[in-house]
Chains A and B, each alone.
Chain A
Amino acid sequence: MPDSDVRLPEVAPVSVPSSDIHLFSAAVLLDPYPSYAQLREQAAVVHLSANDVYALTRYDVVRDALGDWETFSSAAGIGFNPMVNEALQGTSLASDPPQHTALRAALTENLSPRALRGLKGQIDAKADALVAGLVASGSFDAIDSIARVFPLEIVADLIGFTGEVRGHMLAWGKAANQVIGPLNQRTAESFPIAGELYAWCSSVTRDDLAEGSIGRGIFDAEERGAIPPGSAGPIIHQYLAAGVENTVSAIGNIIALFAAHPDQLALVRDDVSLVPAAFNEVLRFWAPINVWGRQTTKDVEVDGVPIPAGARVAVCLGAGNRDPRHYENPDEFLVERNPVDHLSLGYGIHGCAGQGLARLEAHAVIDALARRVERLVVGAEVRVPHNATRSIDSLPVLEVVPA
């Protein structure tokens, strides 16, 4: 179904490369890579009239923009509609230094690898038990049975969600990411659900969250004045919105890519020290988030293309990840490539704050798969277009060939 949002195309200045590719159309969301290749070949910066954004398409310009918050600002929001950008005010996501510094510190205090180092054994054991059970069962849906349950349980326990809120986390997380897109039908339908999450986060108190949890730690930080009054709720919101949907995507992608590339799984099985490299390649090959927003603070020229001050910029992480100027054979999935500098987790002051936890979870799943599975026989994957997070909705595993 075509998108229902109708916008008057803006006429870009003659010197600016322009395209009518619609970044948030269902077709592009489902399979963005042909469009990204087209844009990348056209220019490093392309004005998209359908979205009224300047798309950054090549590896170098994407990485440079992520590293230059003073020019490519997050303060006016990272989404593609004014409502979500308004709603995100007060988060580290939608701020720049100096406000960003304290918010980021509070967000990462309990989420950094240092804080999480005691959790590795527990997370590894959970993943192993889960994979062992599924191998024994022989057939299952990979998304429901691993990709959704595993991060959900870990994030819920860490943040300290108890009771009925755990049952809302998946739907809330999905909606919170969906509304980052432009005002299309998906966004419109998701705002009420995302609103439930906003409402819950603005009324949640310290005592609603489990003792010793990260979530409680945030409220403690607010109490002792380490973060501004009222910022604990928005941070809890970020944990949930970022920590569930995108990890669900990444873990689903791990399973689907190893099912499709048994030779690559065999490489990891032969050498488990490839687990981190394999996860980097999964993230590079299929970024959970392909497009992220910024706004220019001044007139700037990028690779010879002028971008005016105040313009919305679409930072195309997924396009940069497939740039042949940076990666050899970028459309091949090769676990030995170890693309440590992929763009999928961003870079710089706004780089994914939960990446330490994401790595713990993903490495645990890859490790368990490599030890217990020789081959997965899968049916057709089902995808549903999503404005921000590209993920598989269902992936039937028909047969497991155990290791």
Chain B
Amino acid sequence: MRITADRERCEGHGLCADVAPEVYELDDDAIVVLLHETVPSALERKAEAGARVCPVAALRVEQSVGA
């Protein structure tokens, strides 16, 4: 599973990092940074939950195909 972050749209509310600090971090400008290029399977549920709470829909989950 991969997450894509729209850094233009991110406003730094930080809810993703609250929900899944192992997957999301805010940089010094309070813009989201993804900690994993491909989300480890053990973190997939958390990653999804973090993407879901983004209030401005800046995070998108892409399920890997055929993985």
Decide if B57 touches A112 in the complex (CB within 8 Å).
no
The contact size tier of chain A is: 10 to 19
Decide if A341 touches B57 in the complex (CB within 8 Å).
no
| Most-contacted residue by chain A among B15, B31, B56 (CB, 10 A) | B56
Say whether B40 faces chain A, with CB atoms less than 8 Å apart: no
Q: For B46, what are the chain A residues with a Cβ–Cβ distance below 8 Å?
A: none
Number of interface residues, chain B, beta carbon within 8 A: 16
Question: Which listed residue (B30, B56, B57) contacts A117, Cβ 8 A?
Answer: B30
Say whether A356 faces chain B, with CB atoms less than 8 Å apart: yes
Say whether A347 faces chain B, with CB atoms less than 8 Å apart: yes
Known contacts A112-B30, A114-B30, A349 near B11 by CB under 8 Å: no
Say whether A276 faces chain B, with CB atoms less than 8 Å apart: yes
In the assembly, what is the distance between CA of A347 and CA of B52, in Å? Answer: 10
In the assembly, what is the distance between CA of A352 and CA of B15, in Å? Answer: 14
Question: Which listed residue (B12, B18, B19, B57) contacts A351, Cβ 8 A?
Answer: B57
Q: What are the interface flags for A343-362 relative to B under an 8 Å C-beta threshold, 1 for contact and 0 otherwise?
A: 00111110111011000000
Known contacts A351-B56, A352-B55, A355-B55, A276 near B18 by CB under 8 Å: yes
Decide if A347 touches B55 in the complex (CB within 8 Å).
yes
Decide if B57 touches A349 in the complex (CB within 8 Å).
yes
In the assembly, what is the distance between CA of A356 and CA of B29, in Å? Answer: 15
Contacts of A230-267 to chain B: CB distance below 8 A: none
Decide if A351 touches B55 in the complex (CB within 8 Å).
yes
Q: For A340, what are the chain B residues with a Cβ–Cβ distance below 8 Å?
A: 15, 18-19, 53
Q: For B36, what are the chain A residues with a Cβ–Cβ distance below 8 Å?
A: none
Cβ-closest chain B residue relative to A66 = B57
- Whole-angstrom distance from the CB of A218 to the nearest CB of chain B? 16
- Whole-angstrom distance from the CB of A84 to the nearest CB of chain B? 24
Say whether A108 faces chain B, with CB atoms less than 8 Å apart: yes
Contacts of B2-57 to chain A: CB distance below 8 A: 9, 11-15, 18-19, 29-31, 52-53, 55-57
In the assembly, what is the distance between CA of A356 and CA of B18, in Å? Answer: 14
Contacts of A330-349 to chain B: CB distance below 8 A: 340-341, 345-349
Say whether A32 faces chain B, with CB atoms less than 8 Å apart: no
Q: For B29, what are the chain A residues with a Cβ–Cβ distance below 8 Å?
A: 114
Decide if A355 touches B13 in the complex (CB within 8 Å).
yes
Q: Would you mind naming 16 contact pairs between A and B with Cβ atoms under 8 Å apart?
A: A67-B57, A108-B11, A112-B11, A113-B12, A113-B13, A114-B11, A117-B30, A340-B18, A340-B19, A345-B55, A349-B56, A351-B55, A351-B57, A353-B11, A355-B13, A356-B12
Q: Which 3 A-B residue pairs are closest in the complex by CB-CB distance?
A: A114-B30, A348-B57, A114-B12
Interface residues of B (CB under 8 A from A): 9, 11-15, 18-19, 29-31, 52-53, 55-57
